[in-house]
């Protein structure tokens, strides 16, 4: 069985992927970017392990032996599921491996922004604190989470974990279902406009789809409170980056924390790259999922998906 790992670096060189070698003859590429590279590298593969590499007709048509694609991720929008199904290629993702870390990162950004931590850290390190004649400084007002309304878009495993943590902080939790099919009954479900107008914090945890693309745009941002904080740990295109930049500059919302942007890595032509004020905007480089523990689980889950396939069992197949 020929297994090709297209993006070994996506799980980090500090995490071992040697277990995959127990399952077949493995060829490893640190990174695979271009369509030509993908096409050439999967040509003789039986199983492909990927993360962001595009796997669709133009890259798979000359790879007749591919029968399984395993994602080093939960998301699978890099795969054309319809084409794969027409070819009999199964696509498997890894699930619930980074829930704890993504939820933790959501609150790391929320707390840093709501408490103006970067401002106060810079104040102390600048020497201004040492030069003042009083014991404290709170020139930028900050707020408690207790009593605030925390809205969630995408009430899957991560959304539910965030909801529980928000409750522990004393927040009122509400949510919106992009598809309208959520089974969640623990929290009030609101329509989009009501969610936008009521939330003090709004965190996004939904998959990218035609329904969620540009979910937060200029129209949505205008409906939010001027004191609201937006948090995107879903997919970059769920938020229109140009519209968010304008909203932050004009004060339509107070702040935003992003772990994802529309095109990654962040490009110089993305207007958000011009915002250097960390009181208004925090951007991290798509790392909310990437604790050492989570990356180890990611590799282990991919291993188990392949092992199940080799036994004739379906495990985490997203295109049955």
CATH of 99-283, one of 3.40.50.720, 3.40.50.620, 3.30.750.24, 3.30.70.260: 3.40.50.720
What was the pLDDT predicted at 298?
Answer: 98
Cβ distance 300 to 19 under 8 Å?
yes
Does domain 2-97+292-310 sit in CATH 3.30.450.20? Answer: no
What was the pLDDT predicted at 170?
Answer: 98
Alpha carbons 264 and 286: distance in angstroms, whole number: 8
What was the pLDDT predicted at 316?
Answer: 98
Topology match between the domains 2-97+292-310 and 99-283? yes
Give percent helix, percent strand, percent coil of the chain, each to the nearest 5: 35, 15, 50
Backbone phi, then psi, for 251, in 5-degree steps? 80, 20
What was the pLDDT predicted at 110?
Answer: 98
The count of other CB atoms within 10 Å of the CB of residue 122 is 13
- pTM for this prediction: 0.93
Domain boundaries, the chain: 2-97+292-310, 99-283
- The pair of structure tokens assigned to 62 is 């000359």
- The pair of structure tokens assigned to 215 is 């979910």
Q: Which residue numbers in the chain have pLDDT < 70?
A: none
What was the pLDDT predicted at 171?
Answer: 98
The residues annotated as belonging to the active site are 235, 264, 286
> Which residues have CB under 8 Å from 268's CB, separation 6+?
none
Helix axes 99-114, 157-168, angle to 10 degrees: 40
What was the pLDDT predicted at 303?
Answer: 98
């Amino acid at each position: 069985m020929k297994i090709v790992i297209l993006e070994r670096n996506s799980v980090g060189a500090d995490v071992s992927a040697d277990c995959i070698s127990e399952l077949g003859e493995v060829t490893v590429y640190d990174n695979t970017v271009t369509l030509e590279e993908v096409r050439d590298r999967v040509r003789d593969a039986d199983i492909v392990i990927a993360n962001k590499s595009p796997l669709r007709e133009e890259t798979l048509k000359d790879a007749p032996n591919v029968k399984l694609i395993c994602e080093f991720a939960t998301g699978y929008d890099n795969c054309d599921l319809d084409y794969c199904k027409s070819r009999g290629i199964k696509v498997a993702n890894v699930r619930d491996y980074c829930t704890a870390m993504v939820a933790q990162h959501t609150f790391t950004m929320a707390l840093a922004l709501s408490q103006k931590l970067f401002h106060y850290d810079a104040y102390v390190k600048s020497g201004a604190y040492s030069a003042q004649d009083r014991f404290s400084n709170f020139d930028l007002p900050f707020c408690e989470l207790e009593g605030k309304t925390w809205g969630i878009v995408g009430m899957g495993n991560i959304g539910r974990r965030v909801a529980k943590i928000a409750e522990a902080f004393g927040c009122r939790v509400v949510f919106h279902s992009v598809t309208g099919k959520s089974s969640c009954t623990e929290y009030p479900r609101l329509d989009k406009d009501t969610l936008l107008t009521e939330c003090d914090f709004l965190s996004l945890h939904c998959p990218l789809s035609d329904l969620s693309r540009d979910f937060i745009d200029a129209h949505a941002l205008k409906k939010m409170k001027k004191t609201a904080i937006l948090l995107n740990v879903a997919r970059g295109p769920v938020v229109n980056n140009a519209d968010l930049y304008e909203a932050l500059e004009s004060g339509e919302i107070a702040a935003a924390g992003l772990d994802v942007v529309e095109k990654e890595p962040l490009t110089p032509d993305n207007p958000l790259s011009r915002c250097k004020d960390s009181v208004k905007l925090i951007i991290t480089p798509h790392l909310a999922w990437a604790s050492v523990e989570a990356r180890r689980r990611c590799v282990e889950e991919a291993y188990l998906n392949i092992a199940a396939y080799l036994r004739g069992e379906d495990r985490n197949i997203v295109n049955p």
